[in-house]
Amino acid sequence: MKVKRTEFRPPPQVDSAVVRIAPRNPPPPLNFDEWEGMLRLCFMRKNKTILSIVRLSNVNDLLEENYRRVCRMKNKDIPEDLNFTELIEKALTESGFAEKRARSMKIDEFLQLLIIFNRIGVHFHV
């Protein structure tokens, strides 16, 4: 539905349109808090590659802390010689996400990325 510029005071320089947004029914089966957490990290530096973002010390520390917390909650042993950065780099490289940038990724790719992180035990909201 189009809305003419004469419907507004003062009239804008462009015509407007009404957009209807309908939620998906049923909603996708994912944890929206975790989804939001991952997207926030990916888009904090949208022009950097995903690998560069997770290599940032504050991001790496946060993800490792979440990883350790989830392992404790699930009573899972954490290897003494765990190199967390290497674990993430390997997963991203093998899946082809290491060189991708958030600005050029599609929603399905972000969903795949979340699944890959969850598969190796990395969570974004605990």
The verdict on whether residue 1 carries a ligand-binding annotation is yes
Closest C-alpha among 110, 122, 112 to residue 39 = 110
Cα–Cα distance for residue pair 75/59, rounded to 1 Å: 24
Which residue numbers belong to the known binding site for S-adenosyl-L-methionine?
Answer: 1
Which residue numbers belong to the known binding site?
Answer: 1
